[in-house]
Chain A
Amino acid sequence: MNEQKHILSILVENKPGVLSRIVGLFSGRGYNIESLCVAETMDPLVSRITLVTMADTPVVEQIVKQLHKLINVIKVYELTGSSYVQREMSLIKIQAKPEYRAEILRIVDIFRCKVVDVGQEHYTLEVTGDEGKMTAILNLLKPIGIKEIAKTGIIALFRESNGGLKDKD
């Protein structure tokens, strides 16, 4: 199987139970969800779901068609294979013994992230970026001692052909 990561951007009606229909479709048909982000768009009647799944080409084709079939789904875009921007945010709580504090702040500087909470024994960092950046910073922080981590999962949008970034919806 040539399983590959696919990012789907799904516009749905902002109604109760819609997310459950989508998640139920994935579990019921044996598709997987790597990450999932949901929030309202500019139009409060519409929500955008950004969903990452691992699947081969015929399966992802089925997934897109099955999603379209749900009455509350307005549009499904597959971003993988076209030009898009993606971001993920993590909150990383890290052990911050005095001897490591300078090192942690150096990493924060290099990766252009922020310290959002400081304690006697820890820092909480806010990191935003694509997957590559996330992996890189985690690899650097692991030896220092990560206590907890919370990730948003990927959100993504098409790049406009003129290079601009707009959210039409």
Chain B
Amino acid sequence: MMMCKGATRLMSLRQDRPLTLRQRLSLRFHLMMCDACTECNRQFDLLHEAGRRHTPELQADDAR
């Protein structure tokens, strides 16, 4: 059984590449039972969208 930590690994991975069928199913199964991970999954989606909308002016400091 996949635990929350492993589930967040898949949530992160799905922002970067399509999950395999097996990964998709095990993530979906975990999310059905876990409210905290469901929120985390939404937060990762939001971070992804925030990155897209971020403006380069603000970002300049981060190049370091």
A binds B: no
Residues of chain A whose beta carbon lies under 8 Å from any beta carbon of chain B: none
Residues of chain B whose beta carbon lies under 8 Å from any beta carbon of chain A: none
